[in-house]
Amino acid sequence: MTRPKSRFRPCIDLHHGKVKQIVGSTIEQPDFQENFVSEKPAQWYAAKFRDDELVGGHVIMLGPGNADAARSALSQWPGGLQVGGGITIENGQSWIEAGASHVIVTSWLFDGPTLDWERVRSFAKEVGSSRIVIDLSCRRAEGGWRVATNRWQTVTDVNVSIELLERLAPYCSEFLVHAADVEGKCDGVDRELVELLSGFENRKLTYAGGVACMDDLLQIDSASQGRLDVTVGSALDLFGGFGLRYSDLVKWNREAAASEEV
């Protein structure tokens, strides 16, 4: 039996209503670093991902002023994209109604630096666990990784571990993990974090952060035996990068799908 392969998950990162690629660690700084600002609107990317059948991409709202752009993207491909950024129990269902296949949630699940399990349970009950992606984006701290909220600026007291993933699994259908320290830098992935996440088999999990070339994708695929999907941002030629060609990743996904049908 052919083992599964990691899939490329596209992203549409929105900042002040525009599609951008930003170095994650600088996003709250006055002189935050932009790697790319697109002249094309969010819906253009959504339509492209739809036409290339790249299911499960992420529309991420980096701060306020992005809701209209996010809705325009979702309107191009209802049920084909996930949405995150500022998701709460009050608005989660409305984003599903707007066309999101899933909502991606992090900060609302926390009470300050602490994961609030009552919030986790109530959010799953309100939105439905099958429509939820829990984002455990993280930063290195004390020899490991801790979940970072508020656009990766607030490091919580929650350690990323297989035990945490297992405990949260009943409340979601997928996980998303950005390695915030390497996000947008195109300097390579956090291989130790990839190795940790590769040990989790209970839910689909997407890794993001630092992917710079096809070798990074191959290493993630090999280390995880195809269990980890991969998001590529600043290195992608579609976003002004030079490390990876969008057409190669579309081909990769098509070949992966074909091999699993054999």
Instruction: Give residue-wise pLDDT tens across range 96-155.
Output: 999 999 999 999 999 999 999 999 999 999 999 999 999 999 999 988 999 999 878 899
CA distance 97 to 67: 14
130: domain CATH number?
3.20.20.70
Sheet holding 138-141, edge to edge: 138-141, 144-149, 154-159
| pLDDT above 90: residue 2 | no
Task: Give the model's confidence band at 236: pLDDT under 50 very low, under 70 low, under 90 confident, else very high.
Answer: very high
Q: Name the CA dihedral angle for 17, 21, 22, 28, rounded to a multiple of 10 degrees.
A: 20
Report the pLDDT value the prediction gives residue 118, as an integer from 0 to 100: 98
Q: What is the pLDDT of residues 157-203, one digit of tens each?
A: 999 999 999 999 999 999 999 998 887 777 789 999 999 999 998 88
Asked if residue 3 belongs to a domain, the reply is no
Asked if residue 147 belongs to a domain, the reply is yes
Asked if residue 99 belongs to a domain, the reply is yes
Q: Which residues pair with 13 in a beta bridge?
A: 60
Report the pLDDT value the prediction gives residue 82, as an integer from 0 to 100: 98
| pLDDT above 70: residue 239 | yes
Asked if residue 58 belongs to a domain, the reply is yes
Report the pLDDT value the prediction gives residue 31, as an integer from 0 to 100: 61
Closest to 34 measured CA to CA, from 22, 48, 16: 22
Q: What is the pLDDT of residues 39-77, one digit of tens each?
A: 999 999 999 999 999 999 999 998 899 999 999 999 999
How many domains, in total, are found in the chain? Answer: 1
Contact 249, 48 (CB under 8 A): no
Asked if residue 233 belongs to a domain, the reply is yes
Asked if residue 1 belongs to a domain, the reply is no
Asked if residue 214 belongs to a domain, the reply is yes
Which residue segment(s) compose the domain that 138 sits in?
8-261
Report the pLDDT value the prediction gives residue 21, as an integer from 0 to 100: 84
Asked if residue 119 belongs to a domain, the reply is yes
| pLDDT above 80: residue 12 | yes
Contact 40, 238 (CB under 8 A): no
